[in-house]
């Protein structure tokens, strides 16, 4: 007969005094530890739509697609492995964070276990191609500070945010496309416009 070790006896006595180590979930709510890696969630306020989290996701739970003048970011919790790479590589450090939510069992289809957010895109006023999400350009201009004025695109966005820009079309880039105001040929005056890098190089060379 094998007798228990002293360590095992000590643990048994502690369990009798302090009670079981396990919680009474689901009968009682369970509060995870502070650093528990639960369900990741987007913050519509702090996410800038850059897509850095999508590029580092090892399980492919994160995805993004551009539809019209909006970028849609999606996370599927049924695929997520809760590794935390999305939170660790977020540019703003607050755009996507791991919550303490762990109980998201459902009787619906597994495809319903997802979250989507939309971010408006900035469209080039010359060629109509996508430049970047609107919030991402504002975030970059804030980080650059006075250096923002070295780039006309960033300068226009900064002035528009300070209510100093008269160009209201910068608030809705799709209106350029719908109104047929996308230019085919660049002039010198077009340097002070919202342009993609390719069109800006062309405008600088022609001027």
Give residue 174's pLDDT.
46
Domains of the chain (ranges; CATH) run 34-119 (3.30.70.3270), 124-206 (no CATH)
The tens digit of pLDDT for each residue in 82-132 reads: 999 999 999 999 999 998 888 777 777 887 889 999 999 988 888 888 899
Give residue 188's pLDDT.
67
Give residue 169's pLDDT.
45
Mean pLDDT of successive 10-residue segments in the chain (207 residues)?
Answer: 72 80 77 84 93 94 92 93 93 91 78 91 86 91 87 82 58 46 62 82 78
pTM, rounded to two decimals: 0.74
Q: Which residue has the tokens 């009474």?
A: 24
First to last CA, the chain: 94
Distance (Å, rounded) from C-alpha 187 to C-alpha 183?
10
Residue 67 gets the label, from left (phi > 0), alpha (psi -120 to 50) or beta, of beta
CA distances in angstroms from 46 to 43, 91, 131, 138, listed in the order given: 5, 10, 20, 12
Which DSSP letter does residue 149 get?
A: G
128 three-class SS? coil
Q: Between β-strands 130-133 and 70-76, what pairing exists: parallel, antiparallel or unpaired?
A: unpaired
Give residue 199's pLDDT.
85
Distance (Å, rounded) from C-alpha 7 to C-alpha 29?
32
Give residue 34's pLDDT.
79
Residues belonging to the chain: 207
């Amino acid at each position: 007969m094998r007798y228990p070790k002293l360590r095992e006896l000590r643990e048994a006595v502690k369990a009798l005094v302090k009670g079981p180590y396990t919680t009474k979930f689901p009968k009682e709510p369970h509060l995870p530890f502070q650093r528990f890696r639960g369900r990741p969630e987007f913050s519509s306020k702090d996410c800038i739509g850059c897509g850095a989290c999508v590029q580092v996701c090892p399980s492919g739970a994160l995805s993004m697609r551009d539809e019209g003048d909006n970028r849609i970011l999606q996370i599927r919790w049924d695929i997520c492995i809760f590794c935390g790479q999305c939170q660790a590589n977020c540019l703003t450090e607050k755009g996507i964070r791991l919550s303490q939510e762990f109980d998201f069992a459902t009787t619906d289809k597994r495809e319903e276990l997802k979250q989507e957010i939309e971010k408006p895109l900035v469209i080039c006023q010359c060629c109509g191609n996508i430049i970047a999400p609107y919030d991402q350009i504002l975030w970059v201009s804030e980080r650059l500070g006075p250096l923002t004025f070295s780039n006309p695109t960033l300068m226009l966005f900064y002035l528009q945010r300070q209510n100093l820009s008269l160009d209201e079309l910068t608030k809705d880039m799709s209106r350029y496309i719908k109104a047929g105001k996308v230019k085919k040929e660049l002039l010198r005056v077009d340097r002070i416009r919202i342009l993609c890098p390719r069109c800006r190089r062309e405008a600088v060379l022609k001027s």
